Amino acid sequence: MTELDCEQVLQLVWKFLDGEMDETRYLEIQAHVAACAECGPRYQFQRRLLALVELKCREGPVPTELKRRLFRLLEE
C-alpha cells in the first residue's frame, strides 16, 4: 500500500463516498480519515452533505436555492 497525503485523500473523497474505487484504495482512505485531524472533519462534513442531498432528493426536486448554496460550499 502507498501512503496517501491529505491532498490526495481530499481529491478522492467523493469517489470513496460513492464506492467508486478498488478495495485497497478504499481501505487506505478509510484509515487516513480515521487518523487525520485535518481530513477527518472534512470527510465527515462531506459524508453528511451527501446523506442530506440523498434524503432531499427522495422528497422531490431539489430546490434551486439549495443547489446554489451547495455548489458555493463545494467551491470553497
With 90 as the cut, is the pLDDT of residue 75 above it? no
pLDDT tens, position by position, 14-68: 888 888 899 999 999 999 999 999 999 999 998 998 888 888 777 777 778 877 8
3-state secondary structure of 61: coil
* CA 26/CA 11 separation, integer angstroms: 13
Which domains are assigned to the chain?
A: 6-75 (1.10.10)
Q: CA 19, 22, 27: angle at the middle one, nearest 5?
A: 80
